[in-house]
Chains A and B, each alone.
Chain A
Amino acid sequence: MAILSKEEAQAILKKVIGFSKADFCEVGLNGSDGGNIRYARNAVSTAGQISTMSLGVSSTFGKKTGTATINEFDDASLQKVVKRAEELAMLAPENPEFMPPLGPQTFAESNTYNAKTAAMTPDTRAEMVGKSLSVSKAAGLDAAGFLENSTRFNAIMNSKGLFAYNKGTDVSFSVTVRNKQGTGSGYVEQGFNDLDKMDTLALSKIAASKANGSAGAKAIEPGKYTVILEPLAASDIIGNMFRGFDARSADEGRSFMSKKGGGTRLGEQLFSENVNIYSDPMNTEIPSSTFTGEGLPVKRTQWVEKGVVKNLSYSRYWAAQKNVQPLPFSRSMIIEGGTQSLEDLIKSTEKGILVTRFWYIRSVDPQTLLLTGLTRDGTFYIENGEIKFPIKNFRFNESPVIMLNNVEALGKPVRTGSGLIPPMKIRDFTFTSLSDAI
């Protein structure tokens, strides 16, 4: 019930729009179906299965909008929710930033859905977790992990003729493997639309290898180092930066994209020349929906080209104020890289530090995007192109803007976090103190 086909969703939305008496009516329908297993100390601790579907109606008279939602779908309930939204709209204050709904748009067909992922059962999940546990048990290590999958759809329609539908699947897995002495820890995390790409056995072996390899870490002095960030580590630290690609906050003077004296840094060389960042909902490795919640088509967008900021995102309201085209922001950023593997990057490093992941990253200063956080679950010293020994974890204080100005090399991008991110070699990365945590 929770996952409707395009035709089923369209039928419900048409019916809802048909009940509307408002100047404008916008309707959204979404549902999801999925489950999870959590485990720790080499045993399952919790497991769940969740299925939900809901409908939201926004009605507008003039510039006054009311919204109501419901999760019952008989005709009487649908009429009730439309009426309720209209009552609210009549009582609402005018919204000075109201934008009339869009008319019909053309959207590309997304490739976010995978039938095999959608068919996952509790048994599938148990089998995948069993593979992970087999690695830790055989190696005399402790595993704690989380496996989750979902199928979801969303559809929107408005009274000006716009309709869009998308269906997608996700499966995500993470595991922390620690040795029994508590002196070594390793971690992996992966997410895909396609179940066939998820190999919990291979991933758990990597985490186990890091758990053993990180035992007996030595302390080295904090300071500025060349670092090789695995894609997860790079994603952890750069993900925070993308929220700043918003034109309105830049224009308002409260963003790292704001320019001294007014205006934005659009068009400026903000990063190293080898930094190219774009988003593309049709990318086969990290596909995403081809429309926004209000029905704007999402297309391939170049955000940074050869280190120059090429675009900022504009809401429809702010775009109208600035007399430009609206441009939706994408959560799925792609950073172009090269063909080198992580191992290649290590081989080319005379002295440096390999970082598996970062942890507890928080903003310290929104003006410079300075972030703090710590390395975790596998930090290693590199000398003459080889990993020499594990080192104690560091706290860093660094800005992703500064970091992307210090890019020495980029490897082959892989899907991690919410992006397609390459391993990165960065010079002069700032570690400010040591941590005893393992």
Chain B
Amino acid sequence: MKRKDFLYLSGMGMGALLLPDLSAFGTPIDPLQALDGVDVKIKKELADVALNAAKSKGATYADIRIGRYLNQFVATREKRVQGVANTESYGVGIRVLANGCWGFAATNHVTKDAIAKAAEQAVAVAKANAKIQGEPIQLAPQKGYGEVSWKTPIEINAFEVPVKEKVDLLLNVNDVAMQNGANFINSVIFAVNEQKYFASTDGSYIDQDVHRIYPTFNVTKVDRESGKFKTRNALSAPSGKGYEYMHARPEDKVTGIVTRYKGRYDMLEDVKEAARVATEKVKAKSVEPGKYDLVLDPSHLWLTIHESVGHPTELDRVLGYEANYAGTSFLTLDKWESKKFKFGSDKVNIVADKTQVGSLGAVGYDDEGVKCKKWDLIKDGVLVSYQAIRDQAHIIGLTESNGCCYSQGWDDVQFQRMPNVSLQPGKEKLSVDDMIKNVEKGIYIIGDGSFSIDQQRYNFQFGGQIFYEIKEGKIVGMLNDVAYQANTQEFWNSCNAICDESDYRLGGSFNDGKGQPSQSSAVSHGSATTRFNGVNVINTARKI
């Protein structure tokens, strides 16, 4: 065993509790062991076994997903490696339609016999559930693509980069933070590789290799005398890229009062600023509550878009399938049918896009074999569509799925998940500086913080990482204790300026939860810096 393998896992004993629940991701493995995917010919043979077995038992439709899911976590704290783990999860999920009802079964025994048996179980489940099923499932037609493939366009496979290189980087990041005044720092690099094979009775055999990466940290500054402590998180965005994401070039940096990043990320530079900002935050003044014009950086606005646009336009929520968990949606079908529901101001154009290069949600085909695409959700401020999959398409008059079906693993059933949902940049040239010049009383917010929204997505409250007070067109200092509250529709109708494409950047989430049992998905949200006028800001300071 080589040094670079030194602890593909040794951190498990030391710090597994500090990492995400690894059992959700699979069995720990050697990092290089599973990088070579299973031969596509073998996967096709296995897929045909499942599809034939399902059909022979009476399925009118069947699909199979053969998946190998790799995750790598490298986590450190100050001068210590807390945990390094590689996990693998490999198996098969089979979904069928029989007697007008869905059935699903999964197995980690990837053999022809076990797959045939799972296919039969899936049909049995469908037939059992059909007895209490209401209307039969209607599946939007989908042509077979034959044998096709797709891969995330990466330059460096993160799993091939030695663990030592990642450990050294993170320990260096920690050192820079401590040298610049931080008291504590946690830093992490998290990499994902989904090797997914999909086949269906429509005649598709789709092989995909999906990569994602997320470097992040949390810096804490403690002022013992006052008893106060403040934190600042990384301004990185999780990304649908390879390890090249960690090698930022000058053109990847957005300079300003704080450096932000587009395309690629400079972790060492960001942590140095984070230590400075955390120290500054301890002394910053507390905000006066009231109405402010908010200038929201894309590193912050992505989360507002996610919660207030991404989730309420999910058709399964609109219909009530998430009522017991994530909730429903205020964007009911009658609002869409009216064709004039004013979701936002005329400047608001929001698209769903599963093809955007570098985004977390980009794939060639979704998890029910639909080729991915881009479509409008909000056009000139009006609600024009939802996010639908094959068994929902007919409800909104579509003849084909939007292609946004996803499952977190081979052993979970696929269902409707959010594609990348992004606010389009302004059509006229506008820089951040020019936007701020026109603000009399405002707050410029950078980075995501606390977030909460009701179960129908009306009322929300957001915090942030860094808050700058704007007075008469100028930034005059830093603020603390800022959170803004609004109603989604009123908020988006107060949008009155969006910077141009040169400021457009992606943010996103690695772990968006939905479903029971809960599943996680990764999604990006793009925007340029955007201004919202007259938003209610509260002061969150308390004494205990």
Residue A106 interfacial (CB < 8 Å)? no
Q: Which of B287-329 contact A (CB under 8 A)?
A: 319-325, 327-328
Q: Hey, which chain A residues are within 8 Å of B104, CB to CB?
A: 46, 48
Interface string of B430-461 (1 = CB under 8 A from A): 00000000000000000000111111111101
- The one of A144, A182, A397 that contacts B538, using a Cβ cutoff of 8 Å: A397
Beta-carbon nearest neighbor of A123 in chain B: B128
> Which among B42-50, B227-235, B241-249, B335-343 touches the partner chain?
B227-235
The residues of A that contact B319 with a CB separation of less than 8 Å are 41
**Which of A5-13, A113-121, A367-375, A413-421 interfaces with chain B?**
A367-375
A365 interfacial contact with B, CB 8 Å: yes
The answer to whether A276 has its CB under 8 Å from any CB of chain B is no
The reply to whether the CB of B266 lies closer than 8 angstroms to some CB of chain A is no
List, in ascending order, chain B residues with CB within 8 A of A44's CB: 129, 132-133
**In the assembled complex, B487 has its CB within 8 A of some CB on chain A:** yes
Are A372 and B229 in touch, CB under 8 angstroms? no
Per the 8 Å Cβ criterion, residues 78-99 of A in contact with B are 87-89, 91-93, 95-98
- B437 CB → nearest A CB, Å: 31
B289 and chain A: residue at smallest CB distance:
A432
Is B28 located at the chain interface by the 8 A CB criterion? yes
Give A423 to B228 CA distance when docked, in angstroms: 33
> Which residues from chain A contact B516 at a C-beta distance below 8 Å?
36, 38, 146
List which A141-156 residues lie within 8 A (CB) of chain B. 142, 144-146, 148
* Residue of A87, A97, A363 touching B1 (CB-CB under 8 A): A87
User: With the chains together, A203 CA to B225 CA distance in Å?
Assistant: 52
Residue A162, interface by CB 8 Å? no
Residues facing B in A129-183 (CB within 8 A) are 130, 133, 142, 144-146, 148, 174-176, 178, 182
Do the beta carbons of A367 and B229 come within 8 Å of each other?
Answer: yes
Q: Which residues of B contact A366 (CB under 8 A)?
A: 229, 231
Q: In the complex the two chains form, is B452's CB within 8 Å of A362's CB? A: yes
A142 touches B458 (CB 8 A): no
Verify A260–B487 contact, CB threshold 8 A: no
A258: B residues at CB distance < 8 A: 227, 229
Asked if residues B14 and A65 are in contact (CB atoms below 8 Å), the reply is yes
Q: How far is the CA of A372 from the CA of B229 in the complex (A)?
A: 20
In the docked arrangement, what's the CA distance between A40 and B481, Å?
Answer: 40
CB within 8 Å of B: which A403-438 residues = 432-438
Contact of B481 among A56, A68, A96, A365 (CB under 8 A): A365
State whether the Cβ of B80 lies closer than 8 Å to any Cβ in chain A: yes
Known: A47-B129, A66-B7. A436 touches B485 (CB 8 A): no
- Distance, CA A435 to CA B454, complexed state (A): 7
B222 within 8 A of A: yes
A212 interfacial by beta-carbon distance below 8 Å: no
Is the beta-carbon distance between B540 and A397 smaller than 8 angstroms?
yes
**Interface extent on B, as a size class?**
35 or more
Is the pair A437, B456 in contact by a Cβ cutoff of 8 Å?
A: yes
Q: Mark B161-184, 1 if CB is under 8 A from A, else 0.
A: 000000000000000000000011
Given contacts A254-B229, A397-B538, contact A438 B13 (CB under 8 A): no
Are A41 and B320 neighbours in the complex by a CB distance under 8 Å?
A: yes
* Given A48-B104, A68-B28, A433 and B459 contact (CB-CB distance below 8 Å): yes
Q: Are B10 and A88 in contact (CB under 8 A)?
A: yes
Q: Which residues of A contact B450 (CB under 8 A)?
A: 362-364, 372
Give the residues in chain B near A341, CB-CB below 8 Å: none
User: Which of the four size classes fits the interface of chain A?
Assistant: 35 or more
**B86: min CB distance to chain A, Å:** 11
The reply on A395 being an interface residue by CB < 8 A is yes
Question: Given the interface contacts A66-B13, A365-B540, does A374 sit within 8 Å of B452 by beta carbon?
Answer: yes
Question: With a CB–CB cut-off of 8 A, which chain A residues contact B5?
Answer: 88, 91
A241 to chain B, nearest CB (A): 11
* A97, A363, A372, A438 pick with most chain B CB within 10 angstroms: A372
- Interface readout for B127-152 with A: 1 if CB under 8 Å, 0 if not? 01100111000000000000000000
By a CB distance below 8 angstroms, the chain B residues around A73 are none
Decide: A66 and B454 in contact? CB cutoff 8 A. Answer: no
Q: Are A91 and B7 in contact (CB under 8 A)?
A: yes
B323 to chain A, nearest CB (A): 4
Interface check A326, CB cutoff 8 A: no
In the assembled complex, the CB of B92 is this many whole angstroms from the nearest CB of chain A, namely 15
Interface residue? A283 (CB, 8 A): no
Encode B1-15 as 1/0 by CB contact (under 8 A) with A: 101011111111110
- Asked if A436 and B183 sit within 8 Å, CB to CB, the answer is no
Give A334-360 interface residues, CB cut-off 8 Å to B. Answer: 359-360
Judge whether A190 is part of the interface by a CB distance below 8 angstroms. Answer: no
B12's partner among A58, A70, A367, A370 (CB-CB below 8 A) is A58
Q: Looking across the interface, which residue of chain B has its beta carbon closest to that of A207?
A: B324
User: Which residues does chain A contribute within 8 Å of B256, judged by CB atoms?
Assistant: none
- Give complex CA distance A13, B325 in Å: 39
Partner of B461, one of A175, A187, A270, A395: A395
> Which of chain B's residues have a CB closer than 8 A to the CB of A369?
544
What are the residues of chain A within 8 A of B487 when measuring CB–CB?
436
B381 CB–A CB distance under 8 Å: no
Q: Decide if A368 touches B543 in the complex (CB within 8 Å).
A: yes
Q: Does A210 contact B (CB under 8 A)?
A: no
Partner of A374, one of B323, B411, B451, B459: B459
- Inter-chain contact A401/B134, CB cutoff 8 Å: no
Residues of A within 8 A of B411 (CB): 50
A236, B119: Cα distance in complex, Å? 41
Q: Assess the A144–B323 pair: CB atoms within 8 A.
A: yes
The yes or no answer to B102 lying at the interface (CB within 8 A) is: yes
Judging by beta carbons under 8 Å apart, are B224 and A96 in contact?
Answer: no
Interface presence of A205 (CB below 8 A)? no
Interface status of B216 (Cβ within 8 A of chain A): no
* Cα A437 to Cα B183 with chains together (Å): 42
Q: Is the CB of A259 within 8 A of B7?
A: no
For B9, B319, B463, the residue with the greatest tally of chain A CB atoms inside 10 Å of its CB is: B9
Q: Does A67 contact B (CB under 8 A)?
A: yes
B28 and A359 contact, CB distance less than 8 A? no
The complex places the Cα of A361 from the Cα of B455 at a distance, in Å, of 12
What's the Cα separation between A256 and B16 when bound, in Å? 25
Task: Please tell me which one of the listed residues A42, A68, A95, A360 contacts residue B454 in the complex, with CB atoms under 8 A apart.
Answer: A360
Q: When the two chains form their complex, are residues A88 and B226 in contact, meaning their CB atoms are under 8 A apart?
A: no
Contact B324 A144 (CB under 8 A): yes
Q: For residue A359, which residues in chain B have a CB less than 8 angstroms away from its CB?
A: 327, 454-455
CB neighbours of A182 from chain B (8 A) = 328, 332
For residue A77, CB closer than 8 A to chain B, the reply is no
Complex: chain A residue closest to B321, CB-CB:
A40
CB-defined contacts of B541 to chain A, threshold 8 Å = 365, 368
| A206 beta carbon closer than 8 Å to chain B | no
Determine if A372 and B225 form an interchain contact, defined as CB atoms under 8 angstroms apart. Answer: no
A359 nearest CB across to chain B (Å) = 6
A92, A174, A402: the one within 8 Å of B544 (CB): A402
Across the interface, do B7 and A40 meet the contact criterion of CB distance under 8 Å? no
What residues on A are CB-neighbors of B133 within 8 Å? 43-44
Asked if B81 is at the interface (CB within 8 A of a chain A CB), the reply is yes
Does the CB pair B13–A58 fall under 8 Å?
A: yes
Q: A259 to B12, alpha carbons, bound, how many Å?
A: 33
Write the chain B residue with the least CB distance to A187.
Answer: B324
Decide yes or no whether B220 CB sits under 8 A from chain A. yes
28 A–B contacts, CB within 8 A, in A order: A43-B132, A56-B12, A58-B13, A66-B13, A67-B11, A67-B12, A67-B16, A69-B9, A88-B1, A88-B6, A144-B321, A144-B323, A146-B516, A253-B227, A254-B229, A259-B227, A362-B451, A364-B450, A364-B483, A365-B541, A366-B231, A402-B544, A432-B461, A433-B536, A436-B454, A436-B458, A436-B487, A437-B458
Give the 5 A-B CB pairs with smallest separation, nearest first: A260-B227, A92-B10, A435-B459, A91-B6, A437-B456
Contacts beyond the supplied A95-B14, A260-B226, A437-B458: 4 A-B pairs with Cβ under 8 Å? A67-B9, A362-B450, A365-B541, A366-B229
What is B's interface to A at a CB cutoff of 8 Å?
1, 3, 5-14, 16, 23, 27-28, 80-81, 102, 104, 125, 128-129, 132-134, 183-184, 220, 222, 224-229, 231, 319-325, 327-328, 330, 332, 411, 413, 450-459, 461, 463, 481, 483, 485, 487, 516-517, 536, 538, 540-544
